[in-house]
Amino acid sequence: MPEFDADRFAEAKYVDYLTDLQQAYKNAFDRMNDRYDSQLVHAIDQEVLNESEPFYEGDGRFRLEVPDDPADRVTSVVVGEEKLTGVLEAYQETVEREIARQFGFDPDEGSATAAE
């Protein structure tokens, strides 16, 4: 894992940190798949999160921006909008936490610091 640099992440995250991001998304997928309907988790992964964008917010925190109208994007499963919204929000939070962990931050602390 390369040492995390917020400026490099903002400028070239898919060049310098691609492997780390892929691992964080995989870890989040595995966690979600254990807790929620696997077909719905897979649909969100492939039809919404495939175009998501992670941002570093500072202080060891990350934010995952998803495309507009995620309910319109999920077409491979039949799901109510309320359930989809709940699972998607949980998935976003899980991805954000896994990215933080991948880069050596403790997402459970109020003020996260990079691991040495």
Domain ranges, ordered by start, for the chain: 6-102
Q: With cut-offs at 50, 70 and 90, classify the pLDDT of residue 110.
A: very low
pLDDT, tens digit (0-9, with 9 covering 90-100), for 54-70: 999 999 999 999 999 99
Tell me, what DSSP letter sits at residue 111?
A: S
Assess contact for 96 and 38: CB atoms under 8 A: no
Alpha-carbon distance values, 91 to 28, 86, 101 (Å): 7, 9, 15
Residue 2: what pLDDT? 58
Our CA dihedral for 89, 94, 97, 99, rounded to 10 degrees, sits at: -110
DSSP for 1-45, written as a single string = -PPP-HHHHHHHHHHHSHHHHHHHHHHHHHHHHHHS-HHHHHHHH
Burial class of residue 89 (count of CB atoms within 10 Å of its CB; 0-12, 13-18, 19+): exposed
pLDDT, tens digit (0-9, with 9 covering 90-100), for 22-58: 999 999 999 999 999 999 999 999 999 999 999 999 9
pTM of the model: 0.89
- CA neighbor of 35 nearest in space, from 47, 48, 44: 44
